[in-house]
Amino acid sequence: MNTDETRIGNSDAPVRENPGSSVAENSPTGRWLGRISYADALALQEEIVARKRADSALPDELLLLEHEPVYTIGRTPNQSSLRGAAHLPHPLFPVNRGGQATYHGPGQLVGYPIIDLRRYEQDLHRYLRWIEDVLIELLAGYEVAAQTRTGLTGVWVEDRKIASIGVGVRQWITMHGFALNVSGDLSAFDAIVPCGIANVTITSIERESGHAIPLEEVGCRAGKLITSRLGELAKQIAPASA
């Protein structure tokens, strides 16, 4: 696991952390972890969720990273999106999130918000739509016009999928999150039915914009945007009647 972390908060520039340090007290802030294995990232999520379940005063956290090549699939009896697992060129992890099979690998920004939704609106549907909106705004900053599609979770550029979302919740504490394709080889998606959607085309910021964008730069922007917009999840208080 890469222990050279970058903290991404509301400051103008990332601040280097010592290995193993926690996020800033003015949470939530993001931690750029670099490239790490799926198993290490999952163990870190589990550790943070366990701590937050034991102590509700702990701050929310946001892990930003890229994975070594790996396939994952959510908790579903329908495994058809794997097309059978024997042919897969990379390891497979069944995980406690929603959704069908997807691929994670170099050039893809993965974000794991670990948020106690009891502090906000306890509405998972709203949380998913919020992640989509944040990613659409992030992509607009790279002149990529993205949108959602009715009945499908994730973010799209016309009919091409650029970001996938799959979350898990334990006692209203979120884990897992989003995967945004930034650059690099997307051919690993060809071995599965991505997100269970037949004949879907997978795209990236690089393919749509024609520019290679450093992954850490996108991660830094994403971290600042997510932390600045988290208040949108707060409970809506109805105005007092006259």
| In the chain, where the domains are located | 6-232
**Cα–Cα separations (whole angstroms), residue 53 to 57, 121, 226:** 9, 18, 22
Tens place of pLDDT for every residue, the chain, 242 residues? 444 566 665 444 333 333 333 333 434 668 999 999 999 999 999 999 999 999 999 999 999 999 999 988 777 666 667 767 678 878 887 777 767 888 899 999 999 999 999 988 899 999 999 999 999 999 999 999 999 999 999 999 999 999 999 899 999 999 999 999 999 999 988 878 787 677 889 999 999 999 999 999 999 999 999 999 998 988 654 444 44
Distance CA 183, CA 176 (A): 21
Q: Which of 209, 183, 175, 188 is nearest to 44 (CA)?
A: 175
Tell me which residues are annotated as active site: 195
- Three-state secondary-structure class, residue 13: coil
Question: What is the per-residue pLDDT for 93?
Answer: 76
- H helices of the chain, in order, are 38-54, 124-140, 205-209, 215-229
**Cα–Cα separations (whole angstroms), residue 24 to 28, 34, 59, 62, 103:** 8, 18, 9, 11, 31
Question: What is the per-residue pLDDT for 87?
Answer: 83
Pick the CATH number of 6-232 from 3.40.50.1100, 3.30.930.10, 3.30.110.30, 3.30.70.100: 3.30.930.10
Question: What is the per-residue pLDDT for 199?
Answer: 81
Distance CA 155, CA 133 (A): 9
Question: What is the per-residue pLDDT for 89?
Answer: 76
State the DSSP string of 186-226. Answer: -GGGGGS-GGG-TTPEE--HHHHHS----HHHHHHHHHHHH
- Three-state secondary-structure class, residue 77: coil
